[in-house]
Amino acid sequence: MRLIGINACKPLLWGQAPSPECCYRIRITPEYCVCPVVTPSLAALVKDLNKAIRVIEKCGRPVPRHHKCGSITSP
């Protein structure tokens, strides 16, 4: 299940807008499934955390301030 979401959202790594499938996966995937896989090496791929948060929020999922998810803490 987690791999489906990763594959659906992979284009985000190349600066593309989230697809409807990616947004759907962002909305339905529980946080406890995603946060454990956010390792420092994966976090390094997220060059602009604010942009990542905007994408998540654009897909309809709020991100609380100072929220810790894996090795990333939101601003």
> Please, are residues 44 and 11 in contact by the beta-carbon 8 Å criterion?
no
Report the CATH number that the domain containing residue 23 is assigned in CATH. 1.10.110
pLDDT > 70 fraction of the chain, expressed in percent and rounded: 97
User: What's the predicted TM-score (pTM) here?
Assistant: 0.78
**Residue-range definition of the domain harbouring residue 51:** 3-74
pLDDT in tens, 25-56: 999 988 888 888 888 888 888 778 888 889 99
**pLDDT band, very low/low/confident/very high, at 1 (cuts 50, 70, 90):** low
How many domains does one find in the chain?
A: 1
- The one-letter amino acid code at 61 reads R
Residue 21: CB atoms within 10 A of its CB come to 13
**pLDDT top residue among 1 and 10:** 10
Alpha helices, DSSP H only, in the chain? Answer: 2-9, 20-28, 31-34, 40-45, 49-58
